[in-house]
Each structure stands twice: as C-alpha cells, then as structure tokens.
Amino acid sequence: MIDYPNREQYTADDLVRIIAILRDPENGCPWDKVQTHASIRMNFLEEAYEAVDAIDLNDPGLLCEELGDVLMQVAFHACIEEQAGRFTWGQVCDGVCRKLIGRHPHIFGADSGQQGIMDWDSLKNKEKGRKTLTDDLDSVPRAMPALMRAAKLQKRAARHDAAPPPVDAGAITALAKTLADAPPQSDAAERAAGRLLFAAVELARRAGVDPEQALQKENDAFCQGAPLTSESKFAFG
C-alpha cells in the first residue's frame, strides 16, 4: 500500500504522479501498468465524446468530471512516453504553450488587429511545413468520424481551389438511385453509399451546415420518436 498525501485540493502534478505510481512496473496496478497507447486508444475517444455530451447537456458539474477524465487520458499517454524515454508531461505542456503563443501573434507579438486570427491556418501550415494540397489533406486525422473528416477534407481542398463540384438535388437523386439499384452488400453498393454521403456533406458544407451536428440532431429526433417528414423518409424524387 502507498500512503499518498491527503490534500485539500489535488493538482495536475498530482495527477501525473498518481498515474506514474499506477504504471510502476513492479508495484503498480496490474491493469494500468500493462496498458499501451493502442490498448487505451478507444478510451481516449470515449472520454472526449462524453465531455462533448456534457457540453451539449449544458451540465457544468458533469463537464468538470468529464474534462478530468480527458485530462487523465492525456496524462496517461504522456506517462507511457516518459517511461519509454521519448518525452515528458513537461514537454507536452511546454509544446502546447509555445504553439499557442506562436499562433497568436496579434496577442503575443508585434502584429495587431485581426490578422493573427485570420492567418491561423497559414501559421499552422507554415509551422508544420505544409505547402501542397496533398500535405493539407494528409494532415486530417483518419480517426475522425467520417462525416466530420469529409467536411474538413472538402474545406481544405477549397482553400487550394480544388473543392468538389457543387452538388444539386438531381445529383443526390442520381446517387441515391445508383445505391438502390446496386446489389445488396456489394462493393458497388458500398461505393455508391460513400459517394452519396460525400456529396451530402458537400451540399451541407456549402449551405453552412455542420453535417456531423446535423446528423446527430436527426439521430436524436429519431430516438425521440419525432414525426417523419417526406424528407426524413428519404423521398428524393
């Protein structure tokens, strides 16, 4: 047993120390000490989604708890790397502070006005050495939800004047018919479904709508038994 100090209020430093104790190769927790980045990958995503749920619920108490869980995941992954001798929690904090300072020259530098805000993407691309469309697209995480990733890919392509062509109702109808006519569970059906969803994301993006959020609201409406409209019945004709 480890007699950890009883404090009136624990800090981020305590969090890092506690995780290091749990990860101790000899005396640590049997579960915690054997985890890897890959084994707790989904835990990170789940905690982030739970924090977003707390935001959507406008529940400060729950958000405080869920942000703690997200912070724990960050500290856990940093601890794994520190044990491997690659980087430390301190370097994680140092890196993000330097990033925030460097990307806000209108606050921390000689620049003034709105230039720093408007140049966020260009500052980020310069920092990362991204110069081409391929560089920009490759930097979008593959682990993102598909609708969110599609919207970000399209937005970045538009910055390079390479956005998908405008989509209209006729194109959506044609794609839906292609999907309906494809053999069930076939490669053709999967390809048609992908094209239909990608086109729908482009249509939403041009309308100024976040497709991920729009679908989440439709999911909620479905779960709550909201009356179906002709649109929600997918009547494309």
Quickly state the pLDDT bin for 140 (edges 50, 70, 90): confident
Percent of the chain with pLDDT over 90: 57
Mean predicted confidence (pLDDT) in 188-204: 92
> In order of start, what are the domains of the chain with their CATH numbers?
12-101 (1.10.287.1080), 130-223 (1.10.287.1080)
Q: Is 210 exposed, middle or buried (0-12, 13-18, 19+ CB in 10 A)?
A: middle
Quickly state the pLDDT bin for 2 (edges 50, 70, 90): confident
Give tens-digit pLDDT for 159-172: 888 888 888 888 88
Note if the pTM is more than 0.85: no
Mean predicted confidence (pLDDT) in 165-192: 90
The pLDDT assigned to 231 comes to: 53
Mean predicted confidence (pLDDT) in 78-82: 98
CA gap 125, 186 in Å, rounded = 39
User: How many CB atoms neighbour CB 52 within 10 A?
Assistant: 14
Contact 19, 35 (CB under 8 A): no
Give tens-digit pLDDT for 221-234: 888 886 555 554 54
Give tens-digit pLDDT for 24-63: 999 999 999 999 999 999 999 999 999 999 999 999 999 9
Whether 73 has a pLDDT exceeding 70, the answer reads: yes
The pLDDT assigned to 26 comes to: 94
